[in-house]
Structure 1
């Protein structure tokens, strides 16, 4: 029972295993900390016009979205040039779609949050979400093919840069986006059942016990008990992570489908080498063991969400995820912090909480967009609502306008690491836990002097034991040190699930 199992059909990663990072904060705070740690080192403030960021296999756009949402906090507001590399076009397509949902002002704030989480973590979605996803896929596909395509407000033409994609990769990306059409039928229930049977094998009949072990002996041991066992078990059983009231999920979430490549084994030749045919198949090849709760559901600025009663959390990872998405949307559109206000029953039972005197519910964003409480009664309510909604949308579009996201895939060494244009180009580099072995492939040569590296750790990777996770962290430190990186101390707004390094002994020449 205690032996961890490798999921051989987990080919692609569509959600991360760590809380999101604000790269603008990471860049400025790390410079301050470096100056404090190194005698005589005067880095000063970084006054360059642009912040250059490289993300290697982040698995989802959580870092991008948080950096965009909190851009207003970092003054002066610098342009941000992000390069995002993923191993598949399916992952890049999800980046585009999920970002486009948050930037869609035709949806109310609550609809943005609900549709985002539905597409992000559920294997099945509502009919209306499937229709919406089909429309987004068509629109974004046109943006990829034609940089002059006149989509609404031109936001995505300015935001996404496809110059690093080959023609074949562009065509594949468009094909993936257009595969979100409802005409592309797929039996998601059968696919999930097949994944479970392949994963558990002869122990499939003991699925409940195996899920119980993964939760209590691995996930809960990391301290992530805010992920409620019932919700974790339900996800492992059904593939549905986020319920939306009494909604029925009837359509497959086509963003979670991907193509896996391999070879058949047909015979062994006279030299003893295995021979077969190259094959590919489209199906559900993402994570089904760790769950989508770990990216947005285990860390939050709202500490009231982690209160306990009788040693049990009064909230769950779903509540934390919803609040974090509400907060992200609020900050992006209103340019102000979003605080949690406990409900009346919570205040009566547990006290006032830390955020009572501050705005907190998602309805506050909607109220701002619809006119708020202090509108002039002599004005036409519809006109006021329209004006405020336009102002909120303008703020979000202004923020997005200072970002440029270059998408990349294919051979990581050839397309990113070995490009002369990328040498010494990046202020911040983010490395997903599935790609830590690339630390030894010249990653340090891509960083600017005093550049920062953030490496996702493996504490929530349920396919390995606690001991292996600890060895993983030790190996990350060893690889980083061998390749010129030195560990930085703790930074206030950086979740502990990330290891932060800077280039050792390399000082800015200015």
Structure 2
């Protein structure tokens, strides 16, 4: 299974969650007194989420709920993941006077899910890498320029390694990361003798696995093209021919008794980035079918969902698309410009300028009010219970399906009474058989029950994307 799913979770294998949604039944019991006003504090621990989809959806829709201070504590097993999360948060918070909403959405998805990107996107990553280097090496600059982020808990060695990652990103030599070759080698190894008939293999996985698990909106041709090249989103015309260095990571191999690290692409080559934003939406019009076939695709759904979240993050109101004629491609471009003045509207000439930025411009970014995102040291899920400041702190704890092995008695120390536990199921882990999937469900459910949690009445661990539980409290 590791050969196809990889060793690093660049994108999650489940849709984005609003962690304040009423169905999650989260409780917040701590109060934060700020200027005499009482604000509920919600502390959320995310273990192995992989990307920022849950953070983005939760903070974008925070205005829909009562006024709360949202504190996210992020634990990952790779610094490359933390680096990507920092970059994607910066993209999401770009001021719309500098970057139009449509362009921001396309840029976000391109960096998020494409092995190959456009030249102007590469220039943007290089410029942002310079800012990110200053942020991780100067915490005062980070606090003043992006106060919602806090990396002070990271070890000095980890911050040094983050700096090295960003320096690699800004390397102008695109040959240092030949992702197309790395991708093809992964596909060859995975399919082995079936490689020459890979298109048929991709079609089989789509029809016999992906569609049956509730992701029929993913278009078979798009899925096959992504499996072959690693390019999932091509919203704007242009040449997608520059390696996306943000998908580079190292993996340790043993050879001749020695351990060696090899840089390459070590992420998912089977499930696809469409799962994060492309299979669920409030806009049910996106899931209309004609003669049993979806009119829209998961790429369309992803574009709409990300654009909606970015709009809500900026405007604190629900995004409502303009009405379109039947059969027209999703109305993202025209709808995007309804809230932008003529002076702000981007043109094709402006697109090439997205790579230009400086330290002053970051201060004009969207301010994340009542939000704090703490990045914790690698692997700290196993150690966090030893620190007194985390005792009974968390109102919600989230585990990805690759990190459920961290569920043990120590969690009882850090969870507040009545806290919610959210587990990502293995519904979209396509390499699992039905029997293996049920074994996973039964084992994980037992693990959570053993630490004093009861399943939510609305939760169905077998059929849902997530299973939710309530912590009954220390006995």
TM-score, structure 1 length as denominator?
0.81
The residue number in structure 1 matching 2:248 is 257
Task: Tell me if the contact between 1:485 and 1:503 (Cα under 8 Å) persists in the aligned partners.
Answer: yes
Task: Tell me if the contact between 2:102 and 2:336 (Cα under 8 Å) persists in the aligned partners.
Answer: no
The residue number in structure 2 matching 1:425 is 393
The residue number in structure 1 matching 2:153 is 164
1:67 aligns with 2:58: yes
Q: Distance in 2 between matches of 1:44 and 1:424?
A: 10
The residue number in structure 1 matching 2:122 is 130
The residue number in structure 1 matching 2:366 is 397
- Runs (5+) with no aligned partner, structure 2: 33-37, 344-361
1:448 aligns with 2:440: no
**Change beyond 3 A, Cα 1:320–1:503:** same
**Change beyond 3 A, Cα 1:250–1:344:** same
The residue number in structure 1 matching 2:35 is none
Task: Tell me if the contact between 1:81 and 1:403 (Cα under 8 Å) persists in the aligned partners.
Answer: yes
**Change beyond 3 A, Cα 1:6–1:52:** closer
**Change beyond 3 A, Cα 1:204–1:339:** same
Superposed, 1:441-480 pairs within 5 Å as 442-480=410-448
**Change beyond 3 A, Cα 1:341–1:498:** farther
Paired residues, what number? Answer: 445
The residue number in structure 1 matching 2:191 is 200
Deviation, 1:396, is 7.5
TM-score, structure 2 length as denominator?
0.87
Work out which of the residue numbers 98, 105, 110 in structure 2 matches 1:113. Answer: 105
Superposed, 1:298-313 pairs within 5 Å as 298-313=279-294
Q: Secondary structure at the match of 1:224?
A: coil
**Change beyond 3 A, Cα 1:147–1:221:** same
Q: Distance in 2 between matches of 1:93 and 1:186?
A: 17
- Post-superposition CA distance 1:48-102 (Å, at most 9, x none): 6321110000010001111110111112x22211110111100000100011101
Work out which of the residue numbers 82, 97, 100 in structure 1 matches 2:87. Answer: 97
The residue number in structure 2 matching 1:390 is none
**Change beyond 3 A, Cα 1:396–1:474:** farther
1:181 aligns with 2:170: yes
The residue number in structure 2 matching 1:82 is 72
Deviation, 1:444, is 3.1
Work out which of the residue numbers 316, 324, 339 in structure 1 matches 2:320. Answer: 339
Work out which of the residue numbers 302, 323, 340 in structure 2 matches 1:369. Answer: 340
Deviation, 1:482, is 1.2
The residue number in structure 2 matching 1:356 is none
Q: Distance in 2 between matches of 1:141 and 1:395?
A: 19
Deviation, 1:204, is 1.4
The residue number in structure 1 matching 2:353 is none
- Runs (5+) with no aligned partner, structure 1: 33-42, 267-275, 348-352, 354-359, 373-392
- Post-superposition CA distance 1:365-424 (Å, at most 9, x none): 54323279xxxxxxxxxxxxxxxxxxxx999734x1321111123233454343332221
Q: Secondary structure at the match of 2:211?
A: helix
**Change beyond 3 A, Cα 1:500–1:410:** same
**Change beyond 3 A, Cα 1:177–1:488:** same
Deviation, 1:330, is 1.2
Q: Distance in 2 between matches of 1:416 and 1:165?
A: 13
Q: Distance in 1 between matches of 2:26 and 2:130?
A: 41
Task: Tell me if the contact between 1:228 and 1:316 (Cα under 8 Å) persists in the aligned partners.
Answer: yes
Work out which of the residue numbers 212, 216, 238 in structure 2 matches 1:221. Answer: 212
The residue number in structure 2 matching 1:378 is none
The residue number in structure 2 matching 1:278 is 259
Task: Tell me if the contact between 1:6 and 1:463 (Cα under 8 Å) persists in the aligned partners.
Answer: no
Task: Tell me if the contact between 1:161 and 1:404 (Cα under 8 Å) persists in the aligned partners.
Answer: yes
Q: Secondary structure at the match of 2:82?
A: helix
Deviation, 1:505, is 5.6
Q: Distance in 2 between matches of 1:287 and 1:66?
A: 23
1:24 aligns with 2:20: yes
Q: Distance in 2 between matches of 1:216 and 1:365?
A: 34
**Change beyond 3 A, Cα 1:341–1:369:** closer
- Post-superposition CA distance 1:107-166 (Å, at most 9, x none): 110111000000000001000100000111110121111022279xx442x121112111
Bigger CA drift: 442-451 or 227-236?
Answer: 442-451
**Change beyond 3 A, Cα 1:441–1:107:** farther
Task: Tell me if the contact between 1:200 and 1:207 (Cα under 8 Å) persists in the aligned partners.
Answer: yes
The residue number in structure 2 matching 1:235 is 226
- Post-superposition CA distance 1:292-319 (Å, at most 9, x none): 0000000111111111111111111011
The residue number in structure 2 matching 1:40 is none
Q: Distance in 1 between matches of 2:364 and 2:391?
A: 34
Q: Secondary structure at the match of 1:440?
A: coil
